[in-house]
Structure 1
Amino acid sequence: MGNTQAWPVLRTTDLSEALDLAEKLLSVTASYEPDGCYVDAWARDEDVLRQLTDRNPAARVAWYGEGQTGFPANVQLGVSSVAEARAALVSWADVTRCYLLWCHMLWPEVPELGIGEEYKYAELEVACNSHDIHCEEWAAEHTVFVHARQGDDERAAWLAAQVGARVVGPSEFGW
């Protein structure tokens, strides 16, 4: 049992740039399951909930308010391809803070650093309108995070370097 550590590798106001970098990072993986991805958002009122579900009617809603019937509500949409993930995130990014998370992936072995493959803690995330993985606070930028085993700073830096990026801030405790 454990949690990931998440390293930001890009902060940008251009959502397309963030999604392009995420797609490049997916090409670095040893493997990933295209349907091991979902888009997640919080709706804090009826208007936001309606906009999210109107834009993606297949989204699931889970209530977390009083008696698990009121706001906030968690809205989640499973996607099965990079194109579907991109479209879903773009459709929600102008409504609220949200994130796209790829899991069920395998970071490759990095023999020159003495690092083996990583499955358990391997994840990739694009947080829209936020600098943190949970999208708790609004920011004008979108952040791309690589998730890996705690203390795996070298892997995060190596992954970023493979796509012409770098770690751009301190890591944070993950999922």
Structure 2
Amino acid sequence: MANSYAQAVLRTTDLAETLRAVGRLLELADTTELEVDFEARVSTPGELERLSGVMPDAEWFPFGADRHGSSEDGGAPAECLPISSRRWCMAPEAVEEFVAAVGNVPAMVRWDFSGWPEAPEVGLGCGRPRGAYVTVCVNARDLDLEEPAPNHTVYVHVKQIEAERAPWLAAQVGLRVFGELEMAPL
């Protein structure tokens, strides 16, 4: 599993505000190759039904102690709740439908693109695809979706050796980083 490094730049209860912030960040990025990944922590049959409609053929695995089953072994996700369900390489146009289906479920949307722009003020050239992401954690305070929350957090991802790019990016769109730069599993 690969990792990137992420730093929070916005936390709010206003989901529309988080998506506007993502839009401003993506305007800075090289999005010639843009795709979106989704993940959600699903606990009820109703949540599973809603999210299965927008994440067809999603990978899933149970979370919690002593859990079993997965999409790999052909199990039925409804019989293994709670589960973590994820779908990779979706079209950016799918974000709105996914976010609408999420409701109160802890979920993640990650935009994956070609790279960040040059940041000459901090001595950095153009960023490459590895380490160039934006993530919104919906109804969760952390990237692993383990801490449910009534708010949503936007993270910028950068290479660890280019940590100064995170505050630079935030400043370009009128935001500030907070918290520490943290390793983020992909």
Q: Unmatched 5+ residue regions in structure 1?
A: none
Give 1:140 shift: 1.3
Give 1:17 shift: 0.2
Aligned-CA RMSD value: 2.1
Aligned to 1:84: 94
Q: Deviations over 1:54-92 (max 9, x none)?
A: 4x26352423441433234332345313x4313322321
Letter in 1 for 2:58: R
Give 1:32 shift: 4.5
Please give the alpha-carbon distance, in whole angstroms, between the structure 2 residues aligned to 1:45 and 1:27.
37
Please give the alpha-carbon distance, in whole angstroms, between the structure 2 residues aligned to 1:51 and 1:4.
30
Give 1:160 shift: 0.5
Matching of residue 108 in structure 1 with residue 117 in structure 2: yes
Give 1:2 shift: 5.5
Aligned partner (choices 125, 135, 140) of residue 125 of structure 1 = 135
Return closer, same or farther for 1:15/1:103 CA change in 2, 3 Å cut-off: same
Give 1:12 shift: 0.2
Give 1:111 shift: 2.0
Q: Which ranges of 4 or more aligned residues in structure 1 deviate by more than 4 Å?
A: none
Letter in 2 for 1:33: E
Give 1:168 shift: 2.4
Q: How does 1:2-151 map to 2 (within 5 A)?
A: 3-34=3-34, 36-54=35-53, 56=54, 58=56, 60-64=58-62, 65-68=67-70, 69=75, 70-77=80-87, 78-81=89-92, 83-92=93-102, 94-119=103-128, 120-151=130-161
Please give the alpha-carbon distance, in whole angstroms, between the structure 1 residues aligned to 2:153 and 2:109.
11
Q: Deviations over 1:107-162 (max 9, x none)?
A: 11112311122221111100001121121111111000001111533200010011
Q: Unmatched 5+ residue regions in structure 2?
A: none
SS at 1:106's partner residue? coil
SS at 2:56's partner residue? coil
Letter in 2 for 1:38: D
Identical amino acids, percent of aligned pairs? 32
For normalisation by structure 2, the TM-score amounts to 0.81
Q: Deviations over 1:2-40 (max 9, x none)?
A: 621110000000000000000110001133423x11221
